[in-house]
Structure 1
Amino acid sequence: MVLPSTQNHLDVKDIEQGVILLKDGSASMVVQVNSLNFDLLSEPEQDGIIGAYSGFLNSLSFYVQVLIISRRTDVSSYLSKVSQAQERQQNQLLKERLGNYKDFVQQLISKNDVLDKCFYIIVPYKSPLTGGSNNNSPLNMLKKSFGIGGQSKELRFDKADLLKRAFIDLEPKRDHVVEQLRRCGLKAEQLNTEQLITLMYELYNQDSAKNQPLQDEAKNYTTPIVEPKIRL
């Protein structure tokens, strides 16, 4: 008896050219958005951003989903840079202070969870060729985008054709979202394949990803989705 792999229970079919392809024939682009400190803005600036964001929402003629993820901040690379700066420092006093600063940061993160919030906007696409439409409920589309809404029926479709159709539908929507958010003073950028793989890995491996982050670049992997050579 061959037990099903974990991937059999996920909706993700593949990730190509910055697009998540799902088993039910739908696809999604993910746009990462930076944040701003609203409280530090003056009242006229706050009113301007509220008006721009209201205009963004009113301009949408398609579904989008807003995803907010809180994750523990990884400062290992930052501490490594501090250590390198400490080794290069010739002034003994500054070298000692860099060491004290590094110890302070290490103690701070060991006693407190330093969290970072990441903001994403998911732009979904549903191919009419698979019997669906773009009028799926926003909640279901959000769950499907990350394969967490329960296992969907896997449909047979041409992956290259789906990718082509998804680009035609999603690229104008992505550009519209990016431009409207720019008017709000926010920088938005579509995640590429490597960034999507890293995001998926962290979502599905929240505990192990803290201690075992992806070390290799995604482009060095043969495929983001593991497939057996022999199918039984």
Structure 2
Amino acid sequence: MINKINNIWDIEDIRNNMIILKDNRYSVILSVSTIDFNLLSIDEQTVVENILRDTALQFQYCVQFYSTTHNIDTSSNINEIQENMIKENNVHRISYAKHYSNFLSTLMNSRNISVRKNYIIISYDGPFDKASSELNRRCAMVQESLKRKISLLMYYKQTK
């Protein structure tokens, strides 16, 4: 399975948090959190859209955005709770653990619960000896830019 993925994405190796691709391309992946866009007012949504557009326009190198969705499986949590219930002597804790275990079981069985994760993939084309420092520089620029932009959003929300 891993060999198939490596062939599809042209991955040669992963070293020092850097993905080494074919043809002298190197990439790093940043994990980013998201804002619940639908909970924002129309004005706040406009500010966020402008921030993201301005941030994307400043990139002068290859940047990709990638999202994944994973179903949440609470069965290991339920098993751990049930194992700990056996050792417990406190009646109230046992009762709470049963209720919580039932809640997790019902939640998992009644809904398809998922979590979305978002990533920014930053790439560099060039010699290996410069790849690490260049990718670190680019990551720092992206992180700083997003921090600045989010600060502007927070300021905007406070002044409303």
TM range (shorter): 0.7 to 0.9
Would you say 1:92 and 2:91 are equivalent positions?
yes
Q: Which shows bigger deviation, 56-65 or 34-43?
A: 34-43
Task: Quote the offset at 1:62 in angstroms.
Answer: 1.5
Maintained 8 Å contact 2:62/2:124: no
SS in 2 for 1:121: strand
Structure 1 counterpart of 2:108: 109
* Change beyond 3 A, Cα 1:181–1:101: same
Q: Which shows bigger deviation, 85-94 or 64-73?
A: 85-94
Structure 2 counterpart of 1:171: 136
CA distance, structure 2, for counterparts of residue 43 and residue 31 of structure 1: 28
* Change beyond 3 A, Cα 1:126–1:41: same
TM-score, with structure 2 as normaliser: 0.74
Would you say 1:21 and 2:23 are equivalent positions?
no
Q: Deviations over 1:51-90 (max 9, x none)?
A: 3222212211122111111111243554456447656765
How much is the aligned-residue C-alpha RMSD, in angstroms? Answer: 2.9
* Change beyond 3 A, Cα 1:32–1:8: closer
AA partner of residue 167 (structure 1): S
Q: Deviations over 1:117-159 (max 9, x none)?
A: 11011111122x6xxxxxxxxxxxxxxxxxxxxxxxxxxxxxx
Q: Deviations over 1:164-208 (max 9, x none)?
A: 32113212211111112223439xxxxxxxxxxxxxxxxxxxxxx
Maintained 8 Å contact 1:52/1:183: no
Task: Quote the offset at 1:27 in angstroms.
Answer: 1.1
Structure 2 counterpart of 1:185: 150
Maintained 8 Å contact 2:12/2:20: yes
Q: Deviations over 1:81-117 (max 9, x none)?
A: 6447656765413421321221221233134321111
AA partner of residue 74 (structure 2): V
Describe how 1:1-232 pairs up with structure 2 within 5 A.
6=4, 9-10=7-8, 11-76=10-75, 78-79=77-78, 82-83=81-82, 86=85, 91-127=90-126, 162=128, 164-185=129-150
Higher-strand-fraction structure = 2
Maintained 8 Å contact 1:71/1:116: yes
Higher-helix-fraction structure = 2
SS in 1 for 2:150: coil
CA distance, structure 2, for counterparts of residue 9 and residue 57 of structure 1: 29
Can you give the 5+ residue segments of structure 1 that lack an aligned partner in the other structure?
A: 130-161, 187-232
